[in-house]
Chain A
Amino acid sequence: MRRLLWPAVVLVLLLALNIFFTPSFFSVQVRDGHLYGSLIDILRFGAPLILVSIGMTLVIATGGIDLSVGSVVAISGALACLQISEDAGLPMAVAAALGLCLVLGAWNGFLVAAVGIQPIIATLILMVAGRGLAQLITDGQIITINDPAYKVIGGGYWLTVPFGILVVIAVLGITAFLTRRLALGMLIESVGGNAEASRLAGIRARGIVIMVYASAALCAGVAGLMISSNVSSADGNNAGLWIELDAILAVVIGGTSLAGGRFSLSGTVLGALIIQTLTTTIYSIGVPPETTLLFKALVVTAVCLIQSPSFRAKAFRRRGRSAPTQPSPEERVLAGRGGTA
Chain B
Amino acid sequence: MFKRISALVLAGLTALSVTACGGGDGTTSAGTGGGGDDTITMGFAQVGAESGWRTANTKSVQESAKSAGITLKFSDAQQKQENQIKAIRSYIQQKVDVIAFSPVVESGWDPVLNEAKNAKIPVILTDRAVDSKDTSLYKTFLGSDFVEEGKKAGQWLVDEYKDSKDTVNIVELQGTTGSAPANDRKSGFQEVIGADPKFKIIASQTGDFTRAKGKEVMEAFLKSNPDIDVLYAHNDDMGLGAIEAIEGAGKVPGKDIKIITVDAVKDGMQALADGKINFIVECSPLLGPQLMDLAKKVVKGEEVPARVVTEETTFTQEQAKQVLSSRQY
Interface of A with B (CB < 8 Å)? Answer: 21-22, 24-25, 31-32, 36-38, 41, 45, 111, 115-118, 121, 125, 128-129, 131-133, 135-136, 139-142, 144, 155, 227, 230-233, 235, 237-239, 279-280, 282-286, 288-290, 292
Contacts and interface: CB of A to CB of B under 8 A. Distances in A.
A175 B221 CA distance: 35
A24 B223 contact: yes
B15 A135 contact: no
A41 B5 contact: no
B16 A128 contact: yes
Interface string B182-217: 000000000000000000000111101011100111
A125 B223 contact: no
Contact of B5 (A121, A155, A283): A121
Contacts of B54: 140
A37 B55 CA distance: 38
Given A140-B50, A232-B244, A117 B224 contact: no
23 contacts: A32-B248, A37-B223, A45-B216, A115-B8, A128-B16, A129-B19, A132-B19, A132-B21, A132-B23, A136-B22, A136-B23, A139-B55, A230-B215, A231-B212, A231-B241, A231-B244, A233-B240, A235-B212, A239-B212, A284-B224, A285-B224, A292-B177, A292-B206
Contacts of A132: 16, 19-23
B52 A289 contact: no
Contacts of A292: 177, 206
Contact of A283 (B52, B221, B240, B250): B221
Nearest to B13: A125
B224 A22 contact: yes
A332 to B, nearest CB: 36
A105 B54 CA distance: 31
Ranked nearest first, the 6 interchain pairs of A and B with the lowest CB-CB distance are A283-B220, A140-B49, A132-B20, A289-B206, A129-B16, A125-B12
A142 B221 contact: no
Nearest to B22: A136
Given A125-B12, A132-B22, A141-B52, 6 more contacts: A115-B8, A133-B19, A139-B55, A142-B52, A283-B220, A289-B206
Contacts of A125: 9, 12-13, 15-16
B214 to A, nearest CB: 8
B24 interface: yes
A129 B220 contact: no
Between A118, A129, A141, A289, the greatest number of chain B beta carbons within 10 A of the residue's beta carbon is seen for: A289
Contact of B15 (A129, A131, A136, A280): A129
B208 A238 contact: yes
Contacts, number: 129
B22 A22 contact: no
A31 B210 contact: no
Contacts of A237: 50-51
Contacts of A32: 248, 250
Contacts of B250: 31-32, 36
Nearest to B174: A289
Interface string B78-116: 000000000000000000000000000000000000000
Nearest to B58: A140
Given A129-B20, A140-B24, A230 B8 contact: no
Nearest to B206: A289
Contact of B203 (A230, A233, A286): A286
B244 A286 contact: no
A128 B20 contact: yes
B237 interface: yes
B49 to A, nearest CB: 3
B249 interface: yes
Interface residues of B, number: 49
B216 A31 contact: no
B5 A117 contact: yes
Contacts of B5: 116-118, 121
A139 B49 CA distance: 9
Interface in B37-91: 49-52, 54-55
Nearest to A36: B249
B219 interface: yes
A293 B49 CA distance: 27
Given A125-B13, A231-B240, A142 B211 contact: yes
Contacts of B248: 32, 36, 155
A32 B244 CA distance: 14
Contacts of A139: 55
A140 to B, nearest CB: 3
Contacts of B221: 283
B267 interface: yes
B220 A238 contact: no
A121 B9 contact: yes
Nearest to A38: B223
Contacts of B244: 155, 230-232
Given A22-B224, A280-B220, A289-B174, A142 B267 contact: yes
A131 B206 contact: no
A230 B23 contact: no
A73 to B, nearest CB: 11
Nearest to B52: A141
Nearest to A283: B220
Nearest to A18: B224
A21 B1 CA distance: 57
A117 B212 contact: no
B317 to A, nearest CB: 19
A59 B54 CA distance: 37
